[in-house]
Amino acid sequence: RDGEEEELSHECKELLLSLPKEKGWRTSHLYKYQGFWCQASEIQSIISFQRHFQASETDVVLTTVPKSGTTWLKALAFAIVNRKRFPMSNNNHPLLTSNPHDLVPFFEYKLYDKHQLPDLSNLPQPRIFGTHVPFPSLPTSIKKSGCRVVYICRNPFDTFISSWHFINTVKPGSEAPMSLDEAFEMYCNGVIGFGPFWDHMLGYWKESIERPHKVLFLTYEDMKKDVTFHLKKLAEFLGFPFSLEEERAGDVEKIAKLCSFESLKELEVNKVGKSIKYFENKNLFRKGEVGDWVNYLTPRMVEKLTKVLEDKLGGSGLSF
């Protein structure tokens, strides 16, 4: 299957033999690497990323659990930090002709997924990257340097439904779809890419409290409720605050509109092609709503996941 057939190094194959393994969602297995569940090819790329990436002070690293709003955050951050180069008045904005994942590459799916190391020296400043790697497993230079980290967190009920839909959409037609029940049990046991999701969230949450200048913790739901406010907050955190003049010119709202679900989904570039390995761009845009889970989960499922959240996140200050 995709992602598994690729050539793994001898070192990676050896490592896989020593790791706990479970049935996967898309690939046949997930392996527990440094406390989180990953596909074999992801582990190989993550190890290369951990060994070789050198952060610079001005870098921006966007971090998420899959299906939490990664595409949206990448678009917003790109538009914010590049607005002098690509003003909002410009109708050739790169976001109109490139998918956000092409403008803000993933470490593990784009930059470190090959046997050859990437040359990152010529990327425009500030460099912006994306990753699903949990905080404790980020390369030391990201954790120690002055580079900034932004995390977007989404209500696990919605992330679950979004993940389940996504997996069934990208599965080849020849394979049986994954049932909601089976996916739900795995999710509640933490077995999902980069899960357990609660540990992922808590790692970044804790860091955002201890080092608020280093890690900004945003939620999908807050951003949906008031995108202008959070867009300004993001711009300030990244060191690119909006001037009064820009605010008066409506630039904040223009960025919000350009990066909105409705705008991105309708662009030709987001209806065709593959910007992330294996995945068609069109599948990155489904509903973009808060609370869609009510249409799928049974009362028993709601009760169970609520209990998981209480057990795992209770007392952390993080709630949904």
Whether residue 230 lies in the annotated active site? no
**261 part of the interface to ligand A3P, by CB under 6 A:** yes
Q: Would you say 275 and 167 are in contact if contact means Cβ atoms under 8 Å apart?
A: no
How many residues touch ligand A3P under the rule CB under 6 A: the total is: 21
For ligand A3P, which residue of 39, 45, 71, 281 counts as binding (CB under 6 A)? 71
- How far is Cα 15 from Cα 203, in angstroms, rounded to an integer? 24
**86 part of the interface to ligand A3P, by CB under 6 A:** no
User: Could you tell me the smallest distance in angstroms from the CB atom of residue 66 to ligand A3P?
Assistant: 6
**42 part of the interface to ligand A3P, by CB under 6 A:** no
- How far is Cα 307 from Cα 26, in angstroms, rounded to an integer? 26
272 three-class SS? coil
60-64: strand order across its sheet: 128-131, 60-64, 148-153, 215-219
CA dihedral of residues 162, 166, 169, 170 (deg, nearest 10):
180
Q: Would you say 246 and 252 are in contact if contact means Cβ atoms under 8 Å apart?
A: yes
Q: Which is nearer to ligand A3P, 72 or 78 (CB)?
A: 72
Q: Give the N- to C-terminal CA distance of the chain in Å, as an integer.
A: 35
Binding mask 264-293 for ligand A3P (x = CB under 6 A): x-------------------xxxxx---x-
Q: Which is nearer to ligand A3P, 27 or 71 (CB)?
A: 71
Backbone φ/ψ region at 69: left (φ over 0), alpha (ψ -120 to 50), beta: left
Q: Which stretch binds ligand A3P (CB under 6 A): 189-197, 258-266, 296-304, 305-313?
A: 258-266
User: Could you tell me the smallest distance in angstroms from the CB atom of residue 18 to ligand A3P?
Assistant: 30
Window 135 to 194, contacts with ligand A3P (CB under 6 A): 158, 162, 165
Q: Which stretch binds ligand A3P (CB under 6 A): 5-13, 89-97, 235-243, 260-268?
A: 260-268
**72 part of the interface to ligand A3P, by CB under 6 A:** yes
DSSP state at residue 78: H
Q: Which is nearer to ligand A3P, 47 or 301 (CB)?
A: 301
Those residues with Cβ within 8 angstroms of residue 106's Cβ, 6 or more apart along the chain or in another chain: 129, 130, 131, 132, 276
Q: Which is nearer to ligand A3P, 265 or 312 (CB)?
A: 265
Query: What is the enclosing helix (H) or strand (E) of 41?
Result: helix 40-52
Q: Which stretch binds ligand A3P (CB under 6 A): 1-9, 137-145, 253-261, 297-305?
A: 253-261
CA dihedral of residues 228, 233, 237, 242 (deg, nearest 10):
60
Q: Which is nearer to ligand A3P, 27 or 275 (CB)?
A: 275
Q: Which is nearer to ligand A3P, 123 or 290 (CB)?
A: 290
- How far is Cα 141 from Cα 282, in angstroms, rounded to an integer? 34
For ligand A3P, which residue of 63, 70, 219, 275 counts as binding (CB under 6 A)? 70
- Find the catalytic residue in 93, 101, 132, 230: 132
Active site residues: 132
Residues that bind ligand A3P in the complex, under the rule CB under 6 A: 64, 66-72, 158, 162, 165, 259-261, 264, 284-288, 292
